Structure 1
Amino acid sequence: MPTISIGLPVYNGENYIREAIDSVLGQSYRDFELVICDNHSSDATQEICEDYAARDPRVRYFRNEKNLGAAPNYNRTFELSSGTFFKWLGHDDVLADGYLEKCLAPLLEHADVVMAFPGLTYIDGEGAVIRHQNRPDFGMMAELPGERTRQFIDHQKAGDDVFWSVFGLIRREALGKTHLIASYNASDQVLLMELLLQGKFYQVPEHLYLRREHHNASMTRHKSEAERLKWFDTSLRKKLIFTHWNLLFKHFKAIREFKPRDSLTCYLQICRRFFLREWRTMGGEIKLIAKQLIGIGRA
């Protein structure tokens, strides 16, 4: 059994997947497996991955019989893995050398740390640096879950950069207690909440995760809420979309399920985000839902 499993979900990733795989195989830390789940690609992804798997036994390649959607494919990489620690890797992203070694160290040293992740750097389609993360430290190292929730909410004030920590190195035991990547928009935010209720998040100061932004990236191609919902899971055909209300209730559900000792503080911090900062958006969703219901009733 390897110490670390890396899950690489991919669909039509021929342009960048070689660079992603090479960045894993070139790591200084060697005790890992790379689990690639191909979501029925129609380009050269299969041939590329099979070539790597034939040359390195640490590379395990699986191809789905049909496109399952992003969320089920992400989760399948975890289900097929066996490492004590797990991380996801986008097929168009890159790990700088030393990533695995430096993220593993705090997890081995501190039993109460459930996830470690490095600094984030954005790169473009050619690999040129765009910018670094918008805060120097996204760590959440408070002792109490409620205080870590407060740190999580405060980090969000700076933008969405903190959510990319979901690509950090995670204890398998903790990740297995979550709902993984669920089939709704921004479910990674709830996954992070489920993890921080179980333990601390440690940020390694070096910028070792290179997040690629390019015109063919999933979040660029799927701009509308409906398009992103279908991208998460191809079996979904929902018409009513209320992302922020759904996220509010999913955060509440996470607190209810994990029962932290300071649950009230956790609830209050989540309310601080949604009702104090995002009330306009949530009000807009109610209006949109009302219009959709009226339209359905007239159909």
Structure 2
Amino acid sequence: MAGTPRVSLGVPLYNAERYLEGCLDALLAQDHSDFEIIISDNASTDRTWEICQRYAARDPRIRLYRNPRNFGGHVNYARVVELARGELFKWVAYDDVCLPSYVSTCVAALDAAGERVVLAYPRTVLIDEAGEVIGPYADGMHLRDHRPWRRVAGVAQHISLCHAHFGVFRLSALRRTGMIRPYLSSDYTLLAEVARLGEIHEVDQPLFQRRMHGASTWQGADSSAASALAWYGKQGARVRAPRLRMLVETLRMLSTGEPRLSTRLSSAAAFLATWWARRVRVLLGRWRRQLTQRVRTATSRGTF
């Protein structure tokens, strides 16, 4: 390829044959054409590599790399960032769909906002295995406050399925983070880190289709914490308090690094306070529903 592309699209893969062609077709159909597609295959054992080679032969914007063995998903996610040449960067999951104006709309949002915004992503629509629409999903990550601690608190308040990290980053900002780390929900930590670095902009258009299907590590029938750790290359590992691990690691990250001490401490405190307040509300809501159900059951039996 001659010249440097504006946007790098990183596609980390492992055994992705089922949805890969649809994913690549969607990327090649983007109306913003100044991009490269970086594919890093984690030693797939299905037809993934064959499909990649076929697409690369058709379009010179596709760059192929294949790991000698499966190093774990987090390593492969870091690999495509390492290989990126663009000013802007987007991770792409093989089973999701980016509508044709996804890249151009996010790039336009970053250009309009200036350097203070380090990540732009569109609204999300959930789809099923066959591509049928399940419904919209509210990510709630439009974090445009100029104060880092307020943005970090917004991450703790709203994060759940975590779609924003599939948006378009300023690559220089992304490379200042720890990216995806080798523990469960490390994408939460990443977004908290990004929010401390700069603003996050949600584009008010539903351009991202997140596929929910049985083969997914995170939504499938075998989506326990132990099986999810296999995605990180930790087969058979024991899982102890994954939520607490995420919280501790996020606080450790927020309290260290480049910003001045006041920014680090206020960001860590904001995440901790907001996260625990959210957990308390969830627990209270659960107990309230359980109590209501018990009262209804007792009333229906005439024992209350």
Report the counterpart of residue 122 of structure 1 in structure 2.
Answer: 126
Which amino acid is the alignment partner of residue 78 of structure 1?
Answer: V
Q: Distance in 2 between matches of 1:205 and 1:277?
A: 25
2:96 maps to 1:93: yes
Could you report, residue by residue, the CA deviation over 1:122-162 in whole angstroms, capped at 9, with x for unpaired residues?
11111111111136x53000000011122222324xxx14x
Q: Distance in 2 between matches of 1:278 and 1:192?
A: 18
Report the counterpart of residue 193 of structure 1 in structure 2.
Answer: 192
Which amino acid is the alignment partner of residue 80 of structure 2?
Answer: T
Could you report, residue by residue, the CA deviation over 1:270-290 in whole angstroms, capped at 9, with x for unpaired residues?
2224433436999xxxxxxxx
Contact 1:5 1:83 in 2 (8 A): yes
For residue 163 of structure 2, give the secondary structure of its aligned residue in structure 1. helix
Q: Distance in 1 between matches of 2:223 and 2:266?
A: 34
Q: Any unmatched runs of 5+ in structure 1?
A: 283-299
Quote how far apart the aligned CAs of 1:88 are: 0.5
Q: Distance in 2 between matches of 1:175 and 1:134?
A: 24
Q: Any unmatched runs of 5+ in structure 2?
A: 284-304
Report the counterpart of residue 56 of structure 2 in structure 1.
Answer: 53
Report the counterpart of residue 294 of structure 1 in structure 2.
Answer: none
Q: Distance in 2 between matches of 1:118 and 1:279?
A: 30
Report the counterpart of residue 289 of structure 1 in structure 2.
Answer: none
Which of 140, 144, 162 matches 1:141? 144
Which amino acid is the alignment partner of residue 98 of structure 1?
Answer: S
**Map 1:1-299 → 2, pairs under 5 A:** 1-109=4-112, 110-134=114-138, 137-156=140-159, 160-161=160-161, 163-221=162-220, 222-234=222-234, 238-258=237-257, 259=259, 261-278=262-279
Query: If the length of structure 1 is used for normalisation, what is the TM-score?
Result: 0.86
Contact 1:153 1:270 in 2 (8 A): yes
Quote how far apart the aligned CAs of 1:30 are: 0.6
Q: Distance in 2 between matches of 1:275 and 1:139?
A: 21
Report the counterpart of residue 285 of structure 1 in structure 2.
Answer: none
Q: Distance in 2 between matches of 1:269 and 1:35?
A: 36
Quote how far apart the aligned CAs of 1:267 are: 2.6
Please tell me whether Structure 1 or Structure 2 has the larger radius of gyration of its CA atoms.
2
Identical counterparts, % of pairs: 33
Which amino acid is the alignment partner of residue 75 of structure 1?
Answer: A
Task: Pick which of 190-199 and 253-262 moved more.
Answer: 253-262
For residue 245 of structure 1, give the secondary structure of its aligned residue in structure 2. helix
Query: If the length of structure 2 is used for normalisation, what is the TM-score?
Result: 0.85
Task: Pick which of 186-195 and 37-46 moved more.
Answer: 37-46
